[in-house]
């Protein structure tokens, strides 16, 4: 039986896609929510490097190892 990964507040991720000459961004999960009944889970993220930078992603995007790497 495989354990399904979940996105939870406090987790940190590093962007896997890095443009030439840039440092990989690190993001912390602030909260998770389901925007509509039966919809996909989303995560609100805050940049570890720049506390003013925030974004919201579907949890499936955050769990895609081609895009983000879990740090904890």
| Structure confidence at residue 69 (pLDDT) | 85
Residue 4 belongs to a domain = no
Full domain range(s) for residue 34: 12-70
Beta strands in the chain (DSSP E): 12-15, 26-33, 42-47, 54-58, 68-70
Segment 30-47, tens digit of pLDDT: 999 998 998 899 999 999
Whole-number pLDDT of residue 72: 72
- pLDDT tier at 15, thresholds 50, 70, 90: confident
Specify if 2 maps to a domain. Answer: no
Quick check: 59 and 32 in contact, CB under 8 A? yes
Q: Is the pLDDT of residue 2 over 50?
A: no
67, burial (CB in 10 Å: exposed 0-12, middle 13-18, buried 19+): middle
Whether the pLDDT of residue 59 is over 70: the answer is yes
Q: What is the dihedral of CA 14, 70, 63, 43, to 10 degrees?
A: -70
Within a domain: 55: yes
Say how many domains are in the chain.
1
- Please report whether residue 25 resides in a domain: yes
- 60 belongs to a structural domain: yes
């Amino acid at each position: 039986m495989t354990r399904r990964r979940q996105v939870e507040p406090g987790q940190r991720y590093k962007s896997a896609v890095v443009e030439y000459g840039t440092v990989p961004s690190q993001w912390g999960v602030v909260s998770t929510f389901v925007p509509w009944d039966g919809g996909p889970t989303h995560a609100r993220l805050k940049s570890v490097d720049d506390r003013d930078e925030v974004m919201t992603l579907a949890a499936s995007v955050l769990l895609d190892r081609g895009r983000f790497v879990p740090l904890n």
